[in-house]
């Protein structure tokens, strides 16, 4: 009887274990795969409202957080356990950035939309350490639901006294107070998910005023992944990477990250605004990217069965367009923030958010077209002309003693375009929206510097040679024309340059002469990159009028006077002033036909003729040609020497055979 009881109890335990195995994921080989849904965005750039887009000849609207929220809700109906993340640059790009410090609309509205985890991009540092610190404090003080922020490779360099600067110390404290972490662990569908964030090398280089520094993302990622696997025992690892993917595999930071840190299962790739219609697979790592401005919602599903690695189940980019309804609660919140932008920012300039400042009879290039083409831009022409117009207006009679020879606009600072039809204050602001000046008022100010004629020619070479390496470096210049041949040797592509005077006449550029140049504060600060990108072969050193190198760029800011008070001349304001200056029709300024076509400011001479490619070499090209000739001579000598030795050996062989 006792043996029967033992047998009965043993049988019950066996049955119990078998039953339990049916309900524990991964224990039973027949158990269906565990599925995790990842909803993602990146590079939203403050596009809370829908933005204009062209569909053929028709203007449509895409993006917008109210429609994005509807798309998110639809996906969560299918999988309520879906996790929602963002890979950085959620701020900077529209007028909503003007209340970044005071109201933190980005984090607060993302919290309301249900974002679980986000990371920081380089543009979150546009208002410097102090600006980000204030934004984080404003978000925390609001009491609103907020997303978790992860950022694992930020560091805080100490100064020569062995301490943090007051602003950097403030940033460090605000990050801690908000609760920013290296990583977080979330659970979805019984799966432990480790999520961490990194800033890539290129991204970090574009935050020159952040004061912070960023450790090597690969070494740092290995550190965090080790913790997640060995200490947190997570099942799945997601990296929110503000590094990006690039066409050239050897430079594609997130593909390199996936290769070097193979235990990362998913990389959500921000920074480069890449639209990956199909994910990139590197080993067992899935890389997803859904372009920018909230125009798409990324939906990535991965599955795991017992004894197998995580595998891609499905991937899609859901368009955020007019087919989606606008979520009423998010719409209401956006309206509140829009009113704050008006009250706290545009009121001080005497402008209305929706005020029509001009009208265009034609459309300008889209941002995609600007990035895809290395040539002259009508939009770049208008913006650079606006710089000179606004400086001349601000300085009045004093301008005649110090006229501007050229104005320079980098492609990377253009954040919006002009569509056919009415242009509002908000539209114009979004064209040149970035940055902040020492006055702590949003918007980069214009500054005045001096370059030698030789350096001015080098600026043209920067456009011609560095743009293929770094697209943001493409330059649009008012006041001068230049021609380049893309087939010529790098750093020797420019074949002709000339200044264009007020009468439209071409004049020679004198190498030793100093010329006054206008650019925005950021562009001038980034001129030091020229030497780095050209491996020290080219140099541009901005100077004061007396020829001494500039050490404090903020001392060169141009000011305008409004109502008896001086204020920084903001680049976006220069654009608005210029748009308002054109002849009017029915009380509205009309952009002239001049800007409907290019004007020969940048001519691409795609000549493959050997003479056109080699003629008029500069010192860099001459040095390269000499090195090549020396190498060819050495190779020729070695070949001739080898042939002679071979002939002698064959001759000796024949003589031996005769004997």
3.30.420.40, 1.10.287.70, 3.60.21.10, 3.40.50.10860: which CATH number matches 38-319? 3.60.21.10
Backbone angles phi, psi at 10, to 5 degrees: -60, -40
Angle, CA 63 vertex, CA 58 and CA 64 arms, to 5°: 120
Q: Do residues 87 and 268 lie in contact, with contact meaning Cβ atoms separated by under 8 Å?
A: yes
Q: What average pLDDT does the segment 362-369 reach?
A: 91
Q: How confident is the model at residue 57 (pLDDT cuts 50, 70, 90)?
A: confident
For the chain, which residues make up each domain, given as ranges?
1-31, 38-319, 356-604, 621-659
pLDDT, residue 411, reads 92
pLDDT, residue 532, reads 64
Task: Check pLDDT > 90 for residue 649.
Answer: no
Radius of gyration from C-alpha coordinates of the chain = 30
Residue-wise pLDDT tens digits, 459-474? 999 999 988 888 888 9
* CA–CA dist 315, 319 (Å, integer): 13
pLDDT, residue 625, reads 65
pLDDT, residue 13, reads 43
Full 3-state SS string of 163-188: CCCHHHHHHHHHHHHHCCECEEEEEE
Q: How confident is the model at residue 492 (pLDDT cuts 50, 70, 90)?
A: very high
pLDDT, residue 656, reads 63
Residue-wise pLDDT tens digits, 212-239? 999 999 999 999 999 999 999 999 999 9
Q: How confident is the model at residue 3 (pLDDT cuts 50, 70, 90)?
A: very low
Choose among 530, 494, 513: nearest CA to 602: 494
Q: What average pLDDT does the segment 49-73 reach?
A: 91
Q: What average pLDDT does the segment 622-647 reach?
A: 76
* CA–CA dist 425, 353 (Å, integer): 6
**In the structure encoding, which two tokens stand for residue 200, read together?**
């890539």
* CA–CA dist 407, 319 (Å, integer): 38
* CA–CA dist 95, 427 (Å, integer): 9
* CA–CA dist 657, 502 (Å, integer): 86
* CA–CA dist 375, 461 (Å, integer): 13
Q: Do residues 446 and 520 lie in contact, with contact meaning Cβ atoms separated by under 8 Å?
A: yes
Q: How confident is the model at residue 308 (pLDDT cuts 50, 70, 90)?
A: confident
Describe the strand order of the beta sheet including 191-199 as a list of residue ranges. 183-188, 191-199, 236-242, 266-269, 285-288, 280-282
Specify the higher pLDDT residue, 60 or 536. 60
Residue-wise pLDDT tens digits, 394-414? 999 999 999 999 999 999 899
Residue with tokens 């005497």: 350
Residue-wise pLDDT tens digits, 517-547? 999 998 877 766 666 666 667 788 899 999 9
Residue-wise pLDDT tens digits, 74-117? 999 999 999 999 999 999 999 999 999 999 999 999 999 999 99
This prediction's pTM: 0.86
pLDDT, residue 523, reads 85
What count of residues does the chain have? Answer: 659
Name the least confident of 28-37, 87-96, 338-347, 548-557.
28-37
Q: Three-state DSSP class for 634?
A: helix
Q: What average pLDDT does the segment 42-52 reach?
A: 96
Q: What is the DSSP letter of 517?
A: E
The alpha helices in 212-284, defined as continuous H runs, are 217-230, 253-260
**CATH (residue range 356-604):** 3.90.780.10
Chain-centroid distance of CA 342 in Å reads 27
pLDDT, residue 654, reads 63
Name the least confident of 181-185, 340-344, 503-507.
503-507
pLDDT, residue 19, reads 41
SS3 content of the chain, % helix, strand, coil (to 5): 40, 25, 35
Choose among 266, 267, 340, 272: nearest CA to 309: 266
pLDDT, residue 381, reads 97
Percentage of residues in the chain having pLDDT higher than 90? 75
pLDDT, residue 655, reads 62
Q: How confident is the model at residue 121 (pLDDT cuts 50, 70, 90)?
A: very high
Q: What average pLDDT does the segment 37-48 reach?
A: 98
Chain-centroid distance of CA 312 in Å reads 28
Task: Using DSSP bridges, classify how beta strands 117-118 and 148-149 pair: parallel, antiparallel or unpaired.
Answer: parallel
Name the least confident of 148-162, 261-275, 513-527.
513-527
Kindly report the average pLDDT of the chain as a whole number: 90
Q: How confident is the model at residue 651 (pLDDT cuts 50, 70, 90)?
A: low
Q: Do residues 451 and 351 lie in contact, with contact meaning Cβ atoms separated by under 8 Å?
A: no
Residue 118's H or E segment, with its range, is: strand 117-118
């Amino acid at each position: 009887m006792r043996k029967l009881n033992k047998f009965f109890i043993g049988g019950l335990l066996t049955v119990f274990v078998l039953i339990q195995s049916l309900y524990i994921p991964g224990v039973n080989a027949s158990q269906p795969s565990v599925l995790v849904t990842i909803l993602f965005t990146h590079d939203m750039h403050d596009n809370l409202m829908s933005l204009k887009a062209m569909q053929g000849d028709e203007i449509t609207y895409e993006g917008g957080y109210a429609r994005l929220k509807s798309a998110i809700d639809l996906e969560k109906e299918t999988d309520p356990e879906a996790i929602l993340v963002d890979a950085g640059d959620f701020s900077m790009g529209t007028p909503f950035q003007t209340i970044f410090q005071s109201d933190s609309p980005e984090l607060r509205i993302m919290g309301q939309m249900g974002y679980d985890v986000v990371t920081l991009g380089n543009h979150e540092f546009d208002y410097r350490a102090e600006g980000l610190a204030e934004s984080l404090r404003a978000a925390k003080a609001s009491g609103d639901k907020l997303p978790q922020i992860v950022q694992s490779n930020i560091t805080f360099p100490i100064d020569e006294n062995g301490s943090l600067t007051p602003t950097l110390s403030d940033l460090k404290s605000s990050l801690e107070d908000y609760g920013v972490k290296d990583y977080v662990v979330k659970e979805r569908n019984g799966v432990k998910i480790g999520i961490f964030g990194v800033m890539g090398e290129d991204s970090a280089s574009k935050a020159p005023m952040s004061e912070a520094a960023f450790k090597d993302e690969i070494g740092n990622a290995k550190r965090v992944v080790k913790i997640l696997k060995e200490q947190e025992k997570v099942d799945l690892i997601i990296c929110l990477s503000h590094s990006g993917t690039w066409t050239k595999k050897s430079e594609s930071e997130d593909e390199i990250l996936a290769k070097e840190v193979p235990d990362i299962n998913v990389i959500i790739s921000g920074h480069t605004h890449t639209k990956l219609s199909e994910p990139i697979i590197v080993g067992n790592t899935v890389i997803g990217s859904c372009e920018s401005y909230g125009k798409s919602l990324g939906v990535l599903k991965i599955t795991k069965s017992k004894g197998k690695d995580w595998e891609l189940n499905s991937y899609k980019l859901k368009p955020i367009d007019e087919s989606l309804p606008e979520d009423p609660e998010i719409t209401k919140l956006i309206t509140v923030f829009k009113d704050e932008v008006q009250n706290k920012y545009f009121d001080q300039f005497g402008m209305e958010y929706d005020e029509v400042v001009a009208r265009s009879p034609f459309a300008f290039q889209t941002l995609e077209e600007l990035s895809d083409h290395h040539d002259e831009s009508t939009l770049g022409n208008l913006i650079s002309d606006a710089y000179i117009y606004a400086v001349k207006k601000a300085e009045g009679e004093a301008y005649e003693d110090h006229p501007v020879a050229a104005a320079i606009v980098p492609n990377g600072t253009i954040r919006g375009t002009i569509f056919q039809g009415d242009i509002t204050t908000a539209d114009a602001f979004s064209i040149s929206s970035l940055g902040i000046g020492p006055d702590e008022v949003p918007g980069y100010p214009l500054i005045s510097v001096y370059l030698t004629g030789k350096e001015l020619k080098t600026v043209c070479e920067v456009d011609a040679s560095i743009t293929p390496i770094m697209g943001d470096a493409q330059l649009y210049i008012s006041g001068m024309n230049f021609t380049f041949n893309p087939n010529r040797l790098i750093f020797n592509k420019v074949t002709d340059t000339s200044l264009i005077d007020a009468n439209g006449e071409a004049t020679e550029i004198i190498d030793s002469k100093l010329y006054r140049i206008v650019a925005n504060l950021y562009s001038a600060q980034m001129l030091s990159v020229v030497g780095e990108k050209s491996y020290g072969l080219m140099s541009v050193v901005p100077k004061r009028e007396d020829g001494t190198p500039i050490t404090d760029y903020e001392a060169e800011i141009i000011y305008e006077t409004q109502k008896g008070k001086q204020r920084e001349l903001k680049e976006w304001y220069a654009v608005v002033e210029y748009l308002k200056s054109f002849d009017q029709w029915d009380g509205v300024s009309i952009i002239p036909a001049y800007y409907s076509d290019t004007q020969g400011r940048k001519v691409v001479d795609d000549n493959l003729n050997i003479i056109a490619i080699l003629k008029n070499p500069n010192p860099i090209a001459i040095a390269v040609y000499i090195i090549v000739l020396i190498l060819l001579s050495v190779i020729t000598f070695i070949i001739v020497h080898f042939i002679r030795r071979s002939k002698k050996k064959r001759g000796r062989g024949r003589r031996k055979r005769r004997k």
